[in-house]
Amino acid sequence: MSISRVHRLLKLITLLQSSASFTADELARELEVSKRTIFRDLNMLELANIPYHFDPQRGYTIGRHFFLPPVNLTLGEALAVLLLAGPLRSGKDLPMMGNASRAAMKLESVLPPAIRQHIGDSMANFSYDAGPVSRHHGLDQDFENLSKAIAERRLCRIVYISFFERKQLELEVQPLRLSFVARAWYLIAWSVSHKQVRTFKLGRIRKLTVTQQTFVPPDIDLDEHFGQAWAMIPEGRLYDVHVHFEPKVAGNVAEVQWHPSQKAQFNDDGSADLYFRVDGIGEISWWVMGYGDQARVVAPPELRQRVAQIAGAMLAQYQREGLQ
């Protein structure tokens, strides 16, 4: 069952449990679907043993005493949900974070007092920081609209600020997936103009229009879209990368799984050698530079040269400013 239908069924249940009653026409207007779809959804509720009633004079309702079955969470499960969602109340504005925070508050409010007290005491001893993220303020509606467009396979028109092409683009795209990578949400879509799959950062979409036109998704394995790129920009060529790290940072670097292909080897002096098979050297070059003189590229020559050029340009810039 698609996410859009699940969302619609839950909304249908909510409407039918309200104090009002609805005719099929009214339900169709509320849910923005056809009467035929409403009847199919009502049939789905019947198959799920959800007792709705029909009154020829008033319409459809669900008995007030019906509730969806409760979710039986263990103490550990409740604590995990609240711990992860709790910090989201602190002001980070990624799409879905507000909903997650509100859901956590609702969960907390229905817990037995003793468990709620225990979790409150426990949470005071935990903290969680996902690290810096891109600005996503005001994108909840675009995120929701794109989610629905992906589920219903609807063509979208976007106005997009492209840093790569250094201009504002007006594009028709077939939305395929929303992905959170590194610090931001991205839309993976087939660009009709570019005739290829492209990645669009949500924060750079200046205008989104979801059309009524549907599309057939291209035959593409989205799980392989980023391929073996270091993060999200494959360059079309694989490199066997070998980076040596000095003892000061070796342990911290090696204990993180930076890439699926990663292999690490520790040396007697406390240093470490990390090996990767990566598509492209652009993204990984900036990662290496982040460790300064504590990292040295051993291979391939192309990456050694790229890092040396960047380091040389940095040195020249400081020298021009009078620093030796």
d(C-alpha 151, C-alpha 147), whole Å: 6
Q: Is 119 in contact with 82 (CB distance < 8 Å)?
A: yes
d(C-alpha 205, C-alpha 47), whole Å: 41
- Mind giving me the DSSP string for 140-187? HHHHHHHHHHHHHTEEEEEEEEETTTTEEEEEEEEEEEEEEETTEEEE
Q: Please report the pLDDT score of residue 161 as a whole number.
A: 92
Helix (H, G, I), strand (E, B) or coil at 66: coil
Give the other-Cβ count within 10 Å of 146's Cβ.
27
d(C-alpha 24, C-alpha 46), whole Å: 15
Mean pLDDT by 10 residues, the chain (324 residues): 67 75 86 88 80 81 63 70 62 64 71 70 69 74 90 94 86 92 87 90 93 90 81 90 97 94 96 97 95 96 96 91 74
What are the backbone dihedrals phi and psi of residue 248, each rounded to the nearest 5 degrees, phi first?
-60, -35
Q: Is 303 in contact with 310 (CB distance < 8 Å)?
A: no
